[in-house]
A and B are shown apart, each in its own frame.
Chain A
Amino acid sequence: MAAADSPSTALQRRDLCSRGIRLAGKMRADVVDLLDAYVEQQGLDASASMAVVEGVPLAAVERWDEQTGTQRLLENLAAYRAFRALLAQMLEEQREQLGEADTGLGRALAAVLLQVSAFAYHLEELLRLESRGIPGEEEEEEDGPPPPPRLSLFEQKLRGLGVLRELAQWAVRSARDLRQLAKPSPATGTAPGLAENP
């Protein structure tokens, strides 16, 4: 049902969106720096084209402009939750490789992980505002995914590169998504696409 926003809801949404846009901007800048450091430290070629890395949410989307607000929020949330797990795994792998030594790369990874978690929470706030149920973290799949096979060190590095590249794209996409969300709808006053689809 399409209900017009109360003025306070509209204001809260705009505020959450503005803060989210700033978060996404800062996150992107940090991910780009982390990407440079990662490539250097892991001895990788930054310009190498890569096959799609399994399990990494792709930012690429068709008909982006036609997405509803709810779709945007849900897709973003799913992505950042996945990145949270992927970055935690990367951090773990780093520690396994280098022991407990406190490395710059490790700290940068941890900082980005924190931002990703914060952004995921921010998206949940936006969904709450729309009185949307927040999907559970563990998707209720009939058969859960099998545990991923143990990757070689090189495969780990490549996957890390894929993760960070896609995260950088997502950070740009998220800022755009939030700007779309923050636009007032001309007729009803609701944000575009947040009304329930018939």
Chain B
Amino acid sequence: DSHIQYERVGADVTMKCGSMDWDAAVTWTANGTDIDESHLNGSYLVLKNVDLSQSGQYSCYEGSSWHLKYQTSLRVGTPPKEPVLMCRSNNYPKGFYCSWHLPTPTYIPNTFNISVIHGTKDMVCEKDATPKNRCHIRYLQLFSTVKYKVTLTVTNPLGKNFTTLTFDEFAIVKPDPPESVVAKPVPNNPRRLEVSWQNPSSWPDPESFPLKFFLRYRPLILDQWQHVELSDGTSHTITDAYAGKEYIIQVAAKDNDIGTWSDWSVAVHATPWTEEPKHLTTEAQITETTSASTSSFMAPPTTKICDKGAVVGSGAVAVCWTAGLVVAAYSVLFI
């Protein structure tokens, strides 16, 4: 007859050898290894201040016959601490999901029970196949001021605990981050980067429930982000990028009217367009100016033609003429 026995970490455990008398001669094993007699009190096995490593299969054999008289699986663990519960609607207005976990492991099996009440109405939170610690609910009503109350109870053989969340429909709306963020240089524009992205695929109806977006970008070499909030559209052109610098760019989303901002999207990197340094191969005298953090080249005084958008100057404004065209002056800030 096999048993399972759950005990708290630190407890003193006494195991009886089935129906054997106290003074019977027995041998105890733990996971097949004989246990020293010092742990015995008669035929009882006494384990003091048990720890996790003492979990295992304990067997008791009668004296000389070695008949198995009793077997138990000892599982050392802890009662559950207050669980951590989170509810969120990333697919508004379809519904919301709740997910949970324990702040510390119990080392023994736990059962989770979730109840959702909306006003006086009980709602069913359908458990997801994966991940296991998650369930979802469809909204039966929209635009309700009545709060939802979600109670999660966790039970294991050593105890029980619970937590409750109360929230209203709008407060938990948080879309997933935008997807497929792409940043590209713009040809012949050394200070521009074209960024585009898509609505998160989990957001069911962006037409009726439009999202707004927040873009942040910075050159890799700086810590300070620049931010742009966009009330519509899924693209934006950065026009003040530092020439030649690699940028890191991220986008976040939020329902236009309610809820909170999504997490930031996966970061993308891009460097604005720079002209190919063709002049290095010509016979003209090229002065290549470099500094610790940037590289640019200065067109030689004898050069008559330079491409539109060529970057010139070292902190100074210069004008570059091409046949028939006036090229706008740039000032390039050195970092």
Contacts and interface: CB of A to CB of B under 8 A. Distances in A.
Given A49-B147, A175-B257, A180-B208, A60 B170 contact: no
A172 B143 contact: yes
B145 A166 contact: yes
Contacts of B93: 64-65
A49 B144 CA distance: 12
Given A172-B258, A179-B208, A59 B143 contact: yes
Size class of the A contact interface (CB-based, 8 Å): 20 to 34
Contacts of A60: 141-146
Contacts of A58: 144-145
A58 B207 CA distance: 25
Interface in B86-110: 93
Interface in A161-194: 165-166, 169-170, 172-173, 175-176, 179-180, 183
A24 to B, nearest CB: 9
Given A172-B170, A176-B208, A179-B208, A25 B143 contact: no
Contacts of B129: none
Contacts, number: 47
Contact of B145 (A61, A64, A165): A165
Contacts of A172: 143, 170, 257-258
A25 B144 contact: no
Contacts of B140: 62
B225 interface: no
B209 interface: yes
Nearest to A174: B143
A27 to B, nearest CB: 12
Nearest to B257: A172
Taking chain A's interface residues, is the majority helix, strand, or loop, or is none over half, making it mixed? Answer: helix
B211 to A, nearest CB: 13
Given A176-B209, A180-B208, A183-B207, A169 B257 contact: no
Given A25-B257, A28-B257, A173 B208 contact: no
Contacts of B146: 49, 60
A172 to B, nearest CB: 5
B121 to A, nearest CB: 11
Interface in A124-174: 165-166, 169-170, 172-173
A169 B145 contact: yes
A60 B140 CA distance: 10
Contacts of B209: 176, 179
Interface in B202-223: 207-210
Interface of A: 25, 28, 49, 58-62, 64-65, 165-166, 169-170, 172-173, 175-176, 179-180, 183
Given A60-B145, A172-B143, A176-B208, 7 more contacts: A59-B145, A60-B143, A61-B142, A64-B93, A172-B258, A176-B257, A179-B207
14 contacts: A28-B257, A49-B146, A49-B147, A59-B144, A60-B141, A60-B143, A60-B146, A61-B141, A165-B145, A166-B145, A172-B143, A179-B208, A179-B210, A183-B208
